[in-house]
Structure 1
């Protein structure tokens, strides 16, 4: 009876660990995407700041170019930069939480296998 309980606990812990690892990988991909958006917005903003105020600037919307004031485009890029930084900091908090949760799951699995050497041998033989 204890073997079945330990086996069920192991399967549950293993499933949660796989799920948490998947979430962590997905979050890392999202963070990389936001980092590239942030970098693109920063570089565009730096280029816009070098232009004189009376320069004609165009914003692309699909295949169309629309004449926009330089200040408006600079404000949009600054907003994208700020939004990306906010999203990255939020994702960093989530990443730390998931990493902590993953560590706890690893410890729980390790403790379970130390308590039940028969289960550990069965898992190793698979």
Structure 2
């Protein structure tokens, strides 16, 4: 009976660990994407700053290019940069929260294995079979 309870507890912990790991990977991908957007906005701003104020600048909309003033393009790039920074900060806090949850789940697993060393053998036999 105790083996059944421990096995069910292990399966629950394993499920949570898999779920948290998936969410962490997804967050890391989102962070990388936002960092790329931030870098593109920064580099575009740096290039725009070098241009004279009266230079014709164009904004890409799909496959079309539309004439825009330099100030409008700079404002858009600055906004993209700020939005990316905000999103990265938010995603980082979510990542930290998930990492804390992962540490808690790992501690729960360690406690379970310390309580019932026999379950470690069962786990090993489950993964081999």
Pairwise TM-score range, normalised by the shorter structure: over 0.9
Q: Deviations over 1:67-124 (max 9, x none)?
A: 0000000000000000000000000000000111001101101110110111111112
Normalized against structure 1, the TM-score is what? Answer: 0.97
Q: Is the 8 A contact 1:114 1:120 kept in 2?
A: no
After TM superposition, the runs of 4+ consecutive aligned structure 1 residues lying more than 6 A away are none
Map of 1:15 onto structure 2: 15
Q: Is the 8 A contact 1:41 1:81 kept in 2?
A: yes
In the TM superposition, what is the alpha-carbon distance from 1:125 to its structure 2 partner?
2.6
Gaps of 5+ in 1: none
Map of 1:35 onto structure 2: 35
Gaps of 5+ in 2: none
In the TM superposition, what is the alpha-carbon distance from 1:3 to its structure 2 partner?
1.2
Q: Which moved more, 1:15-24 or 1:1-10?
A: 1-10
Map of 1:6 onto structure 2: 6
Map of 2:79 onto structure 1: 79
Whole-Å separation in 2 of the counterparts to 1:99 and 1:32: 17
Q: CA RMSD in A?
A: 0.7
Q: Deviations over 1:32-71 (max 9, x none)?
A: 0000000000000011011111110000111111000000
SS at match of 1:16: helix
Whole-Å separation in 2 of the counterparts to 1:95 and 1:62: 33
